[in-house]
Amino acid sequence: MKFEPTIGLEIHAELKTKTKMFCECLNDPLEKRPNLNLCPICLGHPGTLPLMNKEAVRLVLTLGAALGAKLADDSRFDRKNYFYPDLPKGYQISQYLHPLVSAGVLKLPSGKEVRITRVHLEEDAARNVHDNDSKATLVDFNRAGVPLMELVTEPDMKSAAEAVEFAEELQLILRYLGISDADMEKGQMRVEANVSIAPADELGNGFSKLGTKVEVKNINSFRAVGRAIDFEINRQAEAIGRGEKIKQETRGWDDAHQKTVSQRSKEEAHDYRYFPEPDLPPLKLSEVPEFAPEILKAELPELPLAKRERFREEYGVEGEKLEIFIHDKKLSEFFESVVSEAERWIDKVPKEKIISLAVNYITSDLVGLLKELALSIENLEMSPENFGELIKMSALGEISSRGAKDILRIMTERGGDPTEIAIQEGQLQTSETGSLEGIVKRVIDANPKALEDYKKGKEASLQFLIGQAMREAKNQKIGANPQILKEIFQKISK
């Protein structure tokens, strides 16, 4: 029998707010010292009252706007009751029946559209740290009460690859919107995958019947998302092949052994006894002017999908090179400044030439150099202006492509003007002999004695004259090759 997989994702992301969800403690997910950012509210002391973080609400609504989703007019928080050492209150403030965002769509780069069921806001739990030496479990409350969003998709994905594509695209969107750094390795973004399989002829026949789903947790990289889903698809197909029934359960991804292991079955599932959070007022979102959907939409920056289209159209970039720009905002800003710099000498080099050289030098050479030198584009000494100049020199054949690479390395390391570097490094291939002759004549006029000495056979005097001419050329921003200067001096002094 042929089976078709179905995947739905539940993705949590820590929001990038200044303070926690319901108190004024710092929201600092990178804080290394345990139990520094805490107070009676996020420690769940009796008698304390939560105070809502408006910025967190705005961030989730912004994501909703980006997903073309329905933004709630009215919303509220609910208590999700369960006991665990990392949950000091004994309940998590979450949203159950009235999420901030519902019914959206995320369009993937492949063109596939995945429906978004909902996005809601809640608070993160503390972090349990298992200490091997003492065999104790320690609790770090820095994370307790950090604003957390949860996005739930419809079961619209058909393969591990699609699920990974979805998670990666969502990460990009979260970063573009400044909602979350969404780093999976740091736990800022957590993906849970619901996986089922069903006989192909039962799906897509208008009477689709999905198979029993298994939820996979503890996935902490994009690679693991793909592997966990593929593992689950195979495991389920093999089980069905043996005549077994898939039971609804939660499994965990064991990265060390590259497999999923059963954690709990449906029967053991929690009853969270949700009820409306009595300590927080209902959210009358339609009464907050800055939360109006038109306003949130108008404030959206250019999103990855639109940027891809624009880069394809304006610059003809595709594939991996395009994705480098899409994934690195600063690098693409640098590229676009280089292109606009290049408008100034458009009469000398055609725009398409500039664009294709800039794309190639940035996505391969510069990206490689940044990695090698552990530098980031924001803190470079090299300006887009200087980089553009380098490209122009390369386009005009003033330097070889090997030379351009060497000069680029120097500029990446310490900035500087490419013409000057080319002169110092003897990389200029051609020099405008006419203007160099003018310089040489002036240097000779100013140093008649040196010329006499050279004519009498004093080599050092020629070196002196060349040095003077180099200095003069540099002042005039003329690329001068010392070898060519030498030839001109020899010719003139004959």
Integer Cα distance of 188 and 205 in angstroms: 39
23 binds, among ligand ADP, Zn ion, none (CB under 5 to 8 A by kind): Zn ion
Total of chain residues touching ligand ADP, rule CB under 6 A: 15
| Minimal CB distance residue for ligand ADP | 8
What lies within 8 Å, CB to CB, of 32 at 6+ separation is: none
Contact with ligand ADP (CB under 6 A): which of 52, 139, 210, 240?
A: 210
Q: How many angstroms separate the most distant Cα atoms in the chain?
A: 104
Rg (CA), the chain: 32
What pairs with residue 192 in β-bridges?
10
**Least distance in angstroms from the C-beta of 90 to Zn ion:** 17
What pairs with residue 250 in β-bridges?
215, 264
Nearer to Zn ion, 140 or 156 (CB): 140
User: CA separation (Å) from 104 to 153, 157, 181, 204?
Assistant: 9, 15, 22, 22
What pairs with residue 308 in β-bridges?
none
- Regarding 219 and contact with ligand ADP (CB under 6 A), the answer is no
Please say whether the beta carbons of 139 and 85 come within 8 A. yes
Task: Kindly tell me the sign of the dihedral angle through the C-alpha atoms of 138, 142, 145, 151.
Answer: negative
Binding mask 146-165 for ligand ADP (x = CB under 6 A): ------xxxx----------
Contact with Zn ion (CB under 5 A): which of 9, 25, 283, 407?
A: 25
Contact with ligand ADP (CB under 6 A): which of 6, 37, 92, 218?
A: 6
- Give, to the nearest 10 degrees, the angle between helix 384-395 and helix 401-414: 170
Strands 113-123 and 147-153: antiparallel
Nearer to ligand ADP, 79 or 392 (CB): 79
Nearer to ligand ADP, 8 or 388 (CB): 8
Structure tokens at 209: 């019947």
Contacting Zn ion within 27-86 (CB under 5 A):
39, 41-42
8 binds, among Zn ion, ligand ADP, none (CB under 5 to 8 A by kind): ligand ADP
- Cα-Cα-Cα-Cα torsion 419, 420, 424, 427, nearest 10 degrees, comes to 0
**Least distance in angstroms from the C-beta of 188 to Zn ion:** 19
210 binds, among Zn ion, ligand ADP, none (CB under 5 to 8 A by kind): ligand ADP
**Least distance in angstroms from the C-beta of 393 to ligand ADP:** 54
Nearer to ligand ADP, 10 or 86 (CB): 10
Classify residue 204 by its DSSP letter. Answer: S
Interface residue list for Zn ion (CB under 5 A): 23, 25, 39, 41-42
Interface residue list for ligand ADP (CB under 6 A): 6-10, 152-155, 194-196, 210-211, 213
